[in-house]
Amino acid sequence: MSKVTNILVCGVGGQGVMTATEILAEAAISLGFDVKKTEVAGMSQRGGVVTSHLRFGHEVLSPQILPGEADLLIGFESAEALRWGHMLRPAGVALVNSGRIVPPVVNIGLFDYPEQPVAQMRTLGLRVHDFDATALAVQLGNIRLGNTVMLGASSDWLPFPAEVLRDAVLARFGSRKPKLVDANREAFAAGRRAVAGETLAA
């Protein structure tokens, strides 16, 4: 198999973008793929833009996904998904958290937040599935479950069974924290349901 799968995960520092991509990578590794994952962390920890590139296949050379080459764009935040929309290949799919994180530069009135980031992406001809992952996570009792919701949503768009990703998520918590395992299992399922019926496999 020569094809390399390209997944771009984007969001804001502190949302768990890098951890989510790490889990996706672990799932791909468990299946024996060659995997490369890259991001520029640096100052992103301070609420800046975060993108994480994941590439896997038989052999991966360059770690970077180029514009127009992402199979899947997982947007943890609406405006960030719009910012990175051009990374998708024409037949690619974007899974977008409709939740918003408004930065201080918008707060103090220097810039405007896009009125309808997801609608704007659709106008460009991109294939987008949006849902409020932040609200789902809060409903499940913890905003930090947002990244598991996002992973659940992505799990039916991968070139391997969703269960592989789910197991990789749950393996993070081991048997030490059964409550966390249950909460994450629920969050994963909620994310999967949020985009159900629209999958590539279907």
Partner 1 sequence: MSASQPVPAAARLFLSGNEAVARAVWEAGTRVAAAYPGTPSTEILEVLAKYPDLYTEWSVNEKVSLEVALGASMVGARAFCAMKHVGLNVASDALMTMTVTGTEGGLVIAVADDVGMSSSQNEQDSRYWGRFAHLPVLEPADSQEAYAMTRAAFELSERFRTPVILRLTTRICHVKGVVVAGEREAVEPGGFTKDPRRWVMVPGNAKPRLPLMFEREAAVRAEAETSPLNFVVDGSDRRIGFVTSGPAFMHVREAFPDAPVFKLGLSCPPPLDSLGKFAATVDTVLVVEETEPLLETELKAAGIACHGKDVLPRTGELAPDALHLGVARLRGEVVAEPEHVVPQQVFPRPPTMCVACPHLGVYYTLSQMRNVMIAGDIGCYTLGAGHPWNALDSCISMGASMGTALGMDKGRGKVDENKKVVAVIGDSTFMHMGMQGLLDITWNRGNVTVLLLDNRAVGMTGGQDNPGSGRDLHGEETTRVDFAKLCEALGVKKERIRVLDPYQLPVLFKALREETKIEEPSVIITDRPCVLIDHYVPTKPYLVKEDRCTGCGNCVDVGCPAIHVTRRDKEVKASGKEVDLSFVRIDTSACTGCGLCVQPCAPEAIIHAEPVQTLQPVQFVRK
Q: Give, as ranges, the residues between 90 and 119 that touch partner 1 (CB under 8 A).
A: 90, 102-114, 117
Read off the tokens for 88. 């998708």
How many CB atoms sit inside 10 A of residue 97's CB? 31
- Full DSSP string of 56-120: EES-----PPPTT-EEEEEESSHHHHHHTGGGEEEEEEEEEE------HHHHTTSS---S-HHHH
CB of 52 to partner 1, least distance (A): 10
Q: How far is the CB of 185 from partner 1 (least distance, A)?
A: 19
Stretch that binds partner 1, among 24-32, 166-174, 177-185, 191-199 (CB under 8 A): 24-32
> Which of residues 156, 159, 187, 195 is near partner 1 by CB under 8 A?
159
> 112 to 151, contacts with partner 1 by CB under 8 A?
112-114, 117, 120, 124-126, 142-144
Apex 21 CA angle, 8 and 162, nearest 5: 95
Beta bridge partners of 196: none
* Residue 29 vs 189, nearer CB to partner 1: 29
Stretch that binds partner 1, among 42-50, 147-155, 169-177, 178-186 (CB under 8 A): 42-50
Q: How far is the CB of 22 from partner 1 (least distance, A)?
A: 8
Span 54-83, contacts to partner 1 by CB under 8 A: 58-64, 66-69, 79-80, 82-83
How many residues does the structure list for the chain? 202
Partners of 9 in the beta sheet? 52, 74
Q: Is 168 in the site for partner 1 (CB under 8 A)?
A: no
Q: Which is nearer to partner 1, 41 or 196 (CB)?
A: 41
Instruction: Please identify which residue in the block is written with the tokens 């395992």.
Output: 181
Residue 45 in contact with residue 39, Cβ under 8 Å? Answer: no
Site for partner 1 in 173-202 (CB under 8 A): none
